[in-house]
């Protein structure tokens, strides 16, 4: 908090700036760093679009006009407009304490219903074969073998992998929920060697006076030395030491997601896969291939961490068949259809014979 002297000699506290208030409220609710960046960006864009007026001087009309312009002029996707609306509603409700009425005048971007991109088993094998052996290739295989999201994989800690039970505990996934996913047996050995390398690296960092890792929420305050323990270290740490933007302390963060995204894109182009496959495509492929192998929908829902089973049922459409195994009627036709006899005139039909004269 800033302090400024006045002419009377008394020091008064200066209230924090608006965007700093937004950041404080986001931290209170334990929102992610990415949510903070997105919300602050949209609020700043909203203020600039209205001539740098303070949001308290504006209301539903300005918010509705801004959101409508995103759809009509900006031609943004529906998810982008929804994110902007969530940021502005958070600003007014949680920071400014203003309840905005439901904005019926907002032009909403229509959200298309699209099926996810899914790779076949052969395409997944070709994708893996094009990647050079190493940590990045192991992480990409882990995405497909466990069905984790990209950031869930990157944020794994050493203690989250249970080799005895062949499982991985995903902490604070989407919706701030924990769940368990399978540990592929083929990756058990490589992951154990990765854990050994992490522990050696952590010991080296401790000797250099570092070795502290970011802990979620208030665990660092509740357990002052937990951030130095081996179990809390990232399973896939960065090769460089960086500074935490919130605490200002130097430490070792997890690897960047760009490394995996580039590796998947490069391998996809190398083997000539025309589908726009990404790291998240491996999660879609995981779900589709499990359903194809006979996995029930409720088990798959738990593995993917879906709140509603209707979200998981999307992959039954990806398979291209319903519960009865529908087959196109075109595919039911015989390969060699029987010859159709030519049409004959009734008067010259051999079965009838020559017409007799009428007596």
Given the residues 23, 141, 149, 289, the one annotated as active site: 149
DSSP string, 165-227: TTEEEE-S-TTS--EEEE--GGGHHHHHHHHHHHHHHHHHHHHTT------STTHHHHSTTGG
Active site residue 149: yes
Instruction: Write a three-state SS string for 59-120.
Output: CHHHHHHHHHHHHHCCCCCHHHHHHHHHHHHHHHHHHCCCCCCCCCCCCCCCCCCCCCCCCC
33-69 burial string, b = 16+ CB within 10 Å, else e? eebbebbbebbeebbeebeeeebeebebebbbbbbbe
Paired tokens of 142: 């882990």
Paired tokens of 279: 């790291």
> What are all long-range contacts of 337-345, with beta carbons under 8 Å and residues at least 24 apart?
none
Nearest to 284 by CA among 180, 126, 149: 149
Active site residue 3: no
Given the residues 155, 283, 284, 289, the one annotated as active site: 283
Active site residue 315: yes
Using CA atoms of 256, 153, 221, 210 in order, give the dihedral in degrees to the nearest 10. Answer: -50
Active site residue 174: yes
Q: Taking a C-beta distance cutoff of 8 angstroms, is the pair 11, 85 a contact?
A: no
Active site residue 214: no
- Torsions phi, psi for 66 (to 5 deg): -65, -45
Active site residues: 149, 174, 280, 283, 306, 315
């Amino acid at each position: 908090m800033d302090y400024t002297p006045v002419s009377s000699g008394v020091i008064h506290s200066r209230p924090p700036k608006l965007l700093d208030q937004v950041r404080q409220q986001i931290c209170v609710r334990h929102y992610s760093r990415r949510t903070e960046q997105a919300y602050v960006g949209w609020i700043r864009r909203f203020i600039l679009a209205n001539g740098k007026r303070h949001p308290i001087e504006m209301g539903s009309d300005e918010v509705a006009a801004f959101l409508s312009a995103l759809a009509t002029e900006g031609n943004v996707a529906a998810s982008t407009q929804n994110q902007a609306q969530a940021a502005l509603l958070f600003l007014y409700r949680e920071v400014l304490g203003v309840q905005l009425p439901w904005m019926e005048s907002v032009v909403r971007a229509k959200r298309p219903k699209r099926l996810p991109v899914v790779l076949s088993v052969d395409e997944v094998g070709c994708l893996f074969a094009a990647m050079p052996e190493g940590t990045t290739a192991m992480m990409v295989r882990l995405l497909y073998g466990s069905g984790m999201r990209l950031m869930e994989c990157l944020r794994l800690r050493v203690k989250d992998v249970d080799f005895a039970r062949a499982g991985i505990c995903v902490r604070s996934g989407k919706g701030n929920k924990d769940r368990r996913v399978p540990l592929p047996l083929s990756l058990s050995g490589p992951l154990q060697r990765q854990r050994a390398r992490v522990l050696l690296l952590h010991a080296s960092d401790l000797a250099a006076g570092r070795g502290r890792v970011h802990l979620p929420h208030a665990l660092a305050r509740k357990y002052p030395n937990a951030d130095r323990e081996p179990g809390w270290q990232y399973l896939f740490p960065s090769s460089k030491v960086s500074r935490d933007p919130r605490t200002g302390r130097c430490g070792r963060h997890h690897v960047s997601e760009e490394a995996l995204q580039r590796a998947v894109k490069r391998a996809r182009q190398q083997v000539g896969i025309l589908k726009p496959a990404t790291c998240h495509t491996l999660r879609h492929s995981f779900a589709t291939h499990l359903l194809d192998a006979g996995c029930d929908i409720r088990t798959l829902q738990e593995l993917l961490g879906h709140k509603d089973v209707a979200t998981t049922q999307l992959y039954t459409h990806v398979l291209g068949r319903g519960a009865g195994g529908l087959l196109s009627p075109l595919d039911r036709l015989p390969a060699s259809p029987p010859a159709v006899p030519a049409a004959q005139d009734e008067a010259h039909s051999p079965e009838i014979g020559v017409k007799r004269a009428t007596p």
